[in-house]
Amino acid sequence: MSPETEPSSLITRRNIMPNTSQIQNPQGFAQDFLNHYLASGFGGMQKRDLDTLVFGLLLKYGAFGGSANAPDATEISFQLGISPARVRNLLRDAQLRYLQYDEHEAKVRLVKLFETSRFERKDSHITFSVSDPLLQQYFVHWVSRVRGFHDTTFNPNLIKVSYEVFADVLLSFADKRALAVFLDKVDKRPENDNYKPLVIEVIKDVAVGTITVAIQSLLGF
C-alpha cells in the first residue's frame, strides 16, 4: 500500500508509537521480559500484568526518550495513545513491581526535583509538580511522618504543602552534622536553636528559582 493510499488511522498509530529503536540494550530488555513473563508459567500472566511489565521495561530501557527517573506522563500518553491517567497508573504499578527504589534514592530524586521543577508560592504554601508516582508516595509518607497535611485535589501531579510542613520534612532527615553543614551553606545562625525559619527561607528561595545546596545538606548529601 502506497503512502498516498494508506489509511490515516495507520499513520496516526504509527506516529504515536514509542520509538523502539531508542531501546538501550535490547538483549537486556528481552532477557528481563522473559524472566518475568515465564516466572508464573507460560501464559500465566494476566493482560493487566503483561501491560505493566512491558510498560516498565519500555521506560527502564529508554523507549520513551528522556530520563526514566523523571517520566513525563503527558508525553508518554501521546506516544502510547492512552490517557495520562492510565499512564500514571501503569507507572505506579510498574514502579511498585519492577522499578522500586529505596528512601535514599527518593531523596536523591527530590534534590533533582528542586533543580528542575517549577514551583509556585502563594501565601504560606508552595506548590510543585511530581510526575513520579513513587516519589510522590514517598513525599506523602514523609509529610504524614511529621504529622503534616498536603493537598493534591486540584491535580494528582501537583503537591501543595505549607512552608512549615515542608521545613519539618527536611529537618526530619537532618542530624547534627547535616545541620552544621546547612548553617555553613546559608551563613546564618538560628535563634534559640530554632532552625525552621532558616529552612523556610531556603524553601522560598527555591520557589522563585534559586538553586541552593543548603537543602542537599539537610538531606545528607
Q: Write out pLDDT tens, residues 16-75.
A: 666 777 788 889 989 999 999 898 888 888 999 999 999 999 988 888 876 666 677 888
Q: How many domains does the chain have?
A: 2
Q: H helices then E strands: how many in the chain?
A: 11, 4
Q: Taking a C-beta distance cutoff of 8 angstroms, is the pair 112, 69 a contact?
A: yes
Q: Taking the model in full, what pTM does it have?
A: 0.73
Return the amino acid letter for 83: S
147 backbone φψ class: left, alpha, beta (φ>0; ψ -120 to 50): left
In a domain, 2, yes or no: no
Phi, psi of 23 (to 5 degrees): -60, 125
The residue among 49, 72, 97 that closes a domain is: 97
Residues spanned by the domain of 128: 103-218
Asked if residue 172 belongs to a domain, the reply is yes
Planar angle of CA 136, 140, 146, nearest 5 degrees? 145
